[in-house]
Amino acid sequence: MIDELIDEIKTYNKKSNLELIRRAYEFAREAHKGQKRISGEEFIEHPLETAKILAKLRLDDNSIIAALLHDVVEDTTISLKDIEEKFGKEVAELVDGITKITELKAKTSSTKQAESVRKMLVASTKDLRVIIIKLADKLHNMRTLEALNEERKKKVAKEAMEIYAPLAYRLGLASIKWELEDLAFRYLEPEIYKKFKEKVNRKRKQREKDVENLIDVLKEELGKHNLNPEISGRPKHFYSIYKKMKKKNYGFDDIYDLLALRVVTDNVENCYNIIGVIHNLWQPLHKHFSDYIANPKPNMYQSLHTVVVGPRKQSIEIQVRTKKMDEIAEEGIAAHWRYKDVISEKKFDRQLSWLKEILNLEKDKAKDFLEKLKIDLFGDNIFCYTPKGDLIELPKDSTPVDFAYAVHSDIGNKCMGARVNGNFVSLRYGLKTGDIIEILTSTKHVPSRDWLSFVRSAKAAERIRRALSLTGIPGRRFFTKEEEKKVNDSLLSVEKLNKAEIKFAKCCNVMPGDDIIGFKLSDKKAVVHKADCVNLIKIKRNKIKVKWVENFNVDVRLKVSALDRVGLFADILNTVASTGTNIKVAKAKSIGNDNAECELIINFTNLKNLREIIDRIYRIADVRKIRIE
């Protein structure tokens, strides 16, 4: 049994320490000895199968070993220290990460907050491999779900559908996503699933024949052009059929009868050549061609898509991509690791450069990946629980008062004390992810002005001010000093003021290259408006000349405000990377009400380039505002 795993690893990792992997297996088997799964099989089967799923994704030794050991700490008397001594620190950290996910998950009452649970899982994980191992763990549990009782089945399936499949999608692990969804679908909609299965079985023969014929015709035609790619019929996933049926109000047959081919070739040029040949052979359907090679999806997916009218007037969906793209499409992040040393295809590289930027592969390897990626996905937030297990997302360093207001304004206003994980704490206590918070209220209690000095969330501050009727008083700004920086003075040259502190006026959002006018506020301070700012009518005195400097060498901080959505950060980074510009720092965070703020630090050497990048970012969907600092 372990031999199957070893054989699989041998196919992709020549340097693997197979001896250590065998030892990990024996260690886990010994630890789980006597334990059985509900299905009756030996417990060790589960970690072993989990490891095999990871080997299929060609993961590294430490991930495989951690998978073999992933339930040891939770279910046996073995400690993390034992694991560290025998298998090293990295393995111990991975196992710890997986155990923590289970603990955190256990505190959450339901999947009704699926989005928050997903966020929390990623935000509280230090190493992205932990999530991949967790997904493999989940997948094996789903494969063996039959053994559980009805209620458990539904619960686990729902979790797979709402939490883990979307996570797999985000990481580009398509094969895991499909399987999780189809398995979950089977248990969540057993009747529909059964019907689907019968229909598919009835039609399978005809469909297979149709696909084979198409492949033959296409192969021959491509051969005439010296193109010999691999062509296969694409399986249709039940859940994707179901989703399309619901969304487009189609019948099962409409969707299932649509034939689908995948063409995999060795380079990008061939992809476009092949599409050309296909469009000559079969009439393409208008507006159905998509070029995800030039415009990759946020989860790194690349491919050409077209729909054509086949010989028997049936619609055929065709995907054309390179082998590498195909692997990335199926395995996402996991495949990316395999290619991290490859610098061949320049374009591919550039498109992934934003990811590399975060990965910072040379220096920190994958370890820091998540530390940085999580900022992209979910911001710097923490996740705490109500005593009932509801998840509350808060800004980092939030206090029980923030928590109280996040639950309800009334609870905030009447908050007089708090217990965190059962212990009384001060209202200034800094909360951490995973804390369970109980707020003590009193009907007579009112908010204290003092709270404004320590709350972190804008909502709490606003509600406190409102309760104190302080709305007219200028509020404390929720930016750190660091963020309040003045304009970089190398961008502007100001007449008559030496080393002045220049700020952009808030009213008119000045962008590099705009026509501008400056106003002297003091000997050391000046403010810059757009030349056509409406507020200029009010200001007449102390006008000074300000000019943009054409050439410079400075790090410019760009702050991009946008509507938060999946892939926003990736879009921004891709846009910048596609110009060949190197990003020094990239951060993003959610700032509530579906808004996100991305911060980029980029070294610019001239005004034209700076303006171009800004204009490009402005053209990205959902970007609302860019500020420079």
Q: In this chain, which stretch among 1-9, 129-137, 418-426, 561-569 interacts with Mn ion, using CB under 5 A?
A: 129-137
Tokens 């970012």 -> residue: 617
Q: Which two tokens stand for residue 249?
A: 């109000």
**Residue 119 CB, nearest approach to Mn ion (Å):** 22
228-257 residues in contact with Mn ion (CB under 5 A) are: none
Count Cβ neighbours within 10 Å for each residue of 612-625 and write b for 16 or more, e otherwise: ebbebbeeeeebee
Give the interface size with Mn ion as a residue count (CB under 5 A): 2
Quote the CA–CA distance of 578 and 583 in Å, as a whole number: 11
Instruction: Please tell me which residue in 7, 26, 74, 269 is annotated as part of the active site.
Output: 74
Q: In this chain, which stretch among 20-28, 64-72, 241-249, 477-485 interacts with Mn ion, using CB under 5 A?
A: 64-72
Residue closer to Mn ion by CB (options 5, 562) is 5
State the distance between the two ends of the chain, measured CA to CA, in whole angstroms: 59
- Site membership for Mn ion, residue 137 (CB under 5 A): yes
Give the x-and-dash track for 8-27 against Mn ion (CB under 5 A). Answer: --------------------
Q: For residue 443, how many other CB atoms are within 10 A of its CB? A: 6
**Residue 428 CB, nearest approach to Mn ion (Å):** 39
Residue closer to Mn ion by CB (options 43, 451) is 43
Residue closer to Mn ion by CB (options 176, 576) is 176
527-556 residues in contact with Mn ion (CB under 5 A) are: none
- Site membership for Mn ion, residue 376 (CB under 5 A): no
421-460 residues in contact with Mn ion (CB under 5 A) are: none
Find out whether 170 and 378 touch, Cβ atoms under 8 Å: no
Residue closer to Mn ion by CB (options 46, 529) is 46
74 is catalytic: yes
Residue closer to Mn ion by CB (options 137, 357) is 137
Find out whether 271 and 304 touch, Cβ atoms under 8 Å: yes
Find out whether 337 and 366 touch, Cβ atoms under 8 Å: yes
- Nearest CA-CA partner of 504 in 493, 515, 490, 518: 518
Residue closer to Mn ion by CB (options 168, 328) is 168
Q: In this chain, which stretch among 22-30, 130-138, 515-523, 558-566 interacts with Mn ion, using CB under 5 A?
A: 130-138
Q: In this chain, which stretch among 10-18, 137-145, 534-542, 615-623 interacts with Mn ion, using CB under 5 A?
A: 137-145
Which residue lies nearest Mn ion, judged by its C-beta? 137
* DSSP code of residue 164: I
Q: Phi-psi region for residue 594, left (φ > 0), alpha (ψ -120 to 50) or beta?
A: left
**Residue 101 CB, nearest approach to Mn ion (Å):** 10
480 Cβ partners below 8 Å, 6+ apart? none
173 HSE (CA, 13 A, CB side): 29
Instruction: Please tell me which residue in 75, 216, 364, 410 is annotated as part of the active site.
Output: 75
* Options 49, 60, 71, 331; binder of Mn ion; rule CB under 5 A: 71
Q: In this chain, which stretch among 67-75, 106-114, 248-256, 422-430 interacts with Mn ion, using CB under 5 A?
A: 67-75
75 is catalytic: yes
Give the x-and-dash track for 88-127 against Mn ion (CB under 5 A). Answer: ----------------------------------------
Find out whether 261 and 232 touch, Cβ atoms under 8 Å: yes
**Residue 142 CB, nearest approach to Mn ion (Å):** 11
Q: What share of the chain is helix, strand, coil (3-state, %, to 5)?
A: 50, 20, 30
Residue closer to Mn ion by CB (options 71, 159) is 71
Strand pairing category for 304-309 and 315-322? antiparallel
Residue closer to Mn ion by CB (options 71, 330) is 71
**Residue 244 CB, nearest approach to Mn ion (Å):** 33
Angle 242-245-247 (CA atoms, 0-180°, nearest 5)?
105
82 Cβ partners below 8 Å, 6+ apart? none
**Residue 46 CB, nearest approach to Mn ion (Å):** 6
Q: Which two tokens stand for residue 243?
A: 């989703």
**Residue 98 CB, nearest approach to Mn ion (Å):** 8
**Residue 116 CB, nearest approach to Mn ion (Å):** 23
| DSSP secondary structure string for all residues of 608-627 | HHHHHHHHHHHTSTTEEEEE
Task: List contacts with Mn ion (CB under 5 A).
Answer: 71, 137
Q: Catalogue the active-site residues.
A: 74-75
